Amino acid sequence: MPGLRNLPEAVGERHVKAFCRCGWKETRRSGSHRILEKEGEEAILSIPCSRKNVKRRLLYGQIKLAGLTIEEYNAVFK
């Protein structure tokens, strides 16, 4: 997959904050996952929040579901 090496490695909480900066809101928790929704969007994001870094492939899928590019995501993550 293109650009996976460009994705930041971090725990889920940091990724949740980045998606929130893009307009997504944490609506609930399901076990160790945070569920994010955005008004006007049908997609629902599920970010695992443990002490381990989120796998880049999983993060890439959530970024695509959110309708973002890797570059857009990296801009709000930092």
Domain boundaries, the chain: 10-77
CATH topology for the 10-77 domain:
Metal Transport, Frataxin; Chain A (3.30.920)
CA atoms of 8 and 74, how far apart (whole Å)? 7
Taking each helix axis from N to C end, the angle separating 56-65 and 70-77, rounded to the nearest 10 degrees, works out to 100
Q: Which pair of structure tokens corresponds to residue 49?
A: 């929040």
pLDDT class for 13, splitting at 50, 70, 90? very high
21 pLDDT exceeds 90?
yes
pLDDT digits (tens, 9 = 90+) for 51-60: 999 999 999 9
Does the model's pTM come out above 0.85? yes
Average pLDDT score over residue span 11-36: 97
pLDDT class for 1, splitting at 50, 70, 90? low
